[in-house]
Amino acid sequence: MSQSLWTYYDPSFGPQTVGVYHGDDSGNLVVYCNNKVIIVDFKVKNSKSYSFYINKCLIKLNLKKQNEEKSFDHDFHRSMKSDEIRTLKKSSPLKVFISCTLFLLSIVSLINMLIFTLFL
């Protein structure tokens, strides 16, 4: 494999053009997305794996050496778990606002109780 090009469809951002160049003789590897270089690795002569993000999605690229030849094959797939983890970790601004408001109200009520008990 010298060069491959494919289109990855991102539901939020639309089609993304992803390309891989791997020099058979030099072993130099370049991965690019929408004509922007995202990975450069030199003298890749054996099988290797790479991970990178396209927008919010984790992509795994596996470069596999074919037998004892100089040719390589690649496997490109999306990690579903990364999206689920990001969704779980992401807190909405509304939740943050409610948490802060409740915290401030509890402090204000505590101060009111303290003042009420001291002066009455």
List pLDDT tens digits, range 85-98: 555 455 567 777 88
Longest distance between any two alpha carbons in the chain, whole Å: 90
Q: Would you say 19 and 5 are in contact if contact means Cβ atoms under 8 Å apart?
A: yes
d(CA 6, CA 45) in angstroms, rounded, equals: 23
Residue pair 60/74 in contact by the 8 Å Cβ criterion? no
pTM as predicted: 0.58
Q: What is the DSSP string of 42-97?
A: S---S-EEEEEEETTEEEEEEEEE-TTSS-EEEEEEE-HHHHHHHHHH---HHHHH
User: By percentage, how much of the chain surpasses pLDDT 70?
Assistant: 85
Q: Give residue-wise pLDDT tens across range 73-85.
A: 777 777 765 555 5
